[in-house]
Amino acid sequence: MDIPMTEDLNRLIERGTQPRVSLYMPTHRAGPDTRQDPIRLKNLLTEAEEGLVGAGLRRTIAKDQLAPVWELQEDYEFWQQQSNGLAVFVEGDFMRYYRVPLPLQEFVAVTPRFHLKPLLPLVTEDLRFHVLAISMNDVRVLECSPYGEEEIRVPDMPRSMADALWADDREKSLQFRSFASTARCDVAPFHGSSEVDKRDEIFRYFRQVDSALMAHVNESKAPLILAAVDYLVPIYREASNYPVIAAEHLSGNPGELRPEELRERAWEIARQGIEATIAADAARFAELHGTGKTSNRVDEAAVAAANGRIDVAFVAVGVQRWGRFDPTNNTAPLSDEPNPGDQHLLDFIALRTYLNSGTVHVLPPEEIPGDGPVATIFRY
């Protein structure tokens, strides 16, 4: 998986000086269907070339810009290392691609801005979660979405309780020796107590794990789902400062589960929390509707998004609304058909809300509250 980070999105949404190509397609991880994926990309590249020519580029320049993607199309090894979907972005001599665990639909757009809404489920907090599989002898951390998982190495995280206690006792020993040296007295070396309560040792171990995890995830709001034998779970909860630990956990020895099994079982827990959050936001929208603090209008939502006013945005997947935000007049008029300089306004709303620390729910059109492809709750 190649998961776009916030800095990637910031780079991709910057206004460019040339027509931009956004290309999406489904891919296959293995099997005979992988032979069809390069053919699908070839057809989409032909469509993208025509789009660039239609945007005013000479055909030779259009071909040059797409040349790095044509190289991928002919790379056999590249197609053997795919996920569920491929997203490609091209502007001038800039090209970036992401192999993502999303079941993407075929789509090509040549517009002044990249079309990024299909990637939002990967980066919005409401579809991401972490799994901490922990036992006395092993620690694993997974970064997950409903579509895939990645097992990660967290810097400075102990790999077992023995590892944690050795490091902890070594630090205490060094501190003690430093004190004894400074005091210039003969003191017996520190060995620790042989009667230390087992629970206290586990607590110390979990403190180290949690400290490393917190440093890695920083201020993430993604929930943490614990996978451990039952008696360890309350000790970890007590030791942890993680902001959102799911109320339920995966019970049993996590060492017996593969990463994909951990993710699948954890998703059932994470999904309940996500659905509850979406339902609560939808109820809040219904309560505030008609007070001036909500909107189902795309143009109003685009202006609010540009000004950082949106707290929650519901945006329909697979739906396009063309237009252009005009910062001079602070308006966002819609177009029936895409005109030169137009952009996908639903894309614009979702990205601006996300980058301004708002909540974005990317949902099927029939699940959007109210009447329309967007529903927003304003901060003020």
Q: 89: Cβ–Cβ under 8 A, 6 or more apart, which residues?
A: 12, 20, 21, 22, 23, 95, 96, 97, 114
Predicted confidence band of residue 273 (pLDDT cuts 50, 70, 90)? confident
Dist. CA 337–CA 111, nearest whole Å: 12
pLDDT in tens, 286-300: 999 999 999 999 999
pLDDT in tens, 352-364: 998 898 999 988 9
Please tell me which residue, 96 or 192, carries the higher pLDDT value: 96
pTM: 0.69
Predicted confidence band of residue 124 (pLDDT cuts 50, 70, 90)? low
Percent of the chain with pLDDT over 70: 88
User: What is the reported pLDDT for 320?
Assistant: 84
Dist. CA 245–CA 131, nearest whole Å: 10
Alpha-helical regions (H) of the chain: 6-13, 37-54, 59-73, 76-79, 120-123, 161-183, 198-217, 233-239, 259-288, 298-306, 345-355
User: What is the reported pLDDT for 126?
Assistant: 65
What number is the average pLDDT over the span 12-31? 85
User: What is the reported pLDDT for 91?
Assistant: 93
Residue 185 has pLDDT above 80, yes or no: no
Predicted confidence band of residue 341 (pLDDT cuts 50, 70, 90)? confident
What number is the average pLDDT over the span 92-108? 89
Please tell me which residue, 314 or 193, carries the higher pLDDT value: 314
User: What is the reported pLDDT for 336?
Assistant: 84
Predicted confidence band of residue 203 (pLDDT cuts 50, 70, 90)? very high
What number is the average pLDDT over the span 188-192? 39
As a whole number, the mean pLDDT across the chain is 86
User: What is the reported pLDDT for 15?
Assistant: 60
What number is the average pLDDT over the span 106-123? 83
Predicted confidence band of residue 260 (pLDDT cuts 50, 70, 90)? very high
Counting beta carbons within 10 angstroms of the beta carbon of residue 11, is it exposed (0 to 12), middle (13 to 18) or buried (19 or more)? middle
Predicted confidence band of residue 117 (pLDDT cuts 50, 70, 90)? confident
Lowest mean pLDDT among 48-52, 101-105, 372-376: 101-105
Question: How many angstroms from the chain centroid is the CA of residue 111?
Answer: 24
DSSP string, 210-264: HHHHHHHHTT----EEEEE-GGGHHHHHHH---S-B-SS-EES-GGGS-HHHHHH
User: What is the reported pLDDT for 177?
Assistant: 40
Q: 359: Cβ–Cβ under 8 A, 6 or more apart, which residues?
A: 124, 125, 126, 281, 311, 312, 313, 353
Lowest mean pLDDT among 43-52, 122-131, 174-183, 319-328: 174-183
Predicted confidence band of residue 183 (pLDDT cuts 50, 70, 90)? very low
Residue 139 has pLDDT above 90, yes or no: yes
Residue 173 has pLDDT above 60, yes or no: no
User: What is the reported pLDDT for 121?
Assistant: 77
Residue 130 has pLDDT above 60, yes or no: yes
pLDDT in tens, 50-77: 999 998 999 999 999 999 999 999 998 8
Percent of the chain with pLDDT over 90: 59
Strand partners, 360: 313
User: What is the reported pLDDT for 187?
Assistant: 34
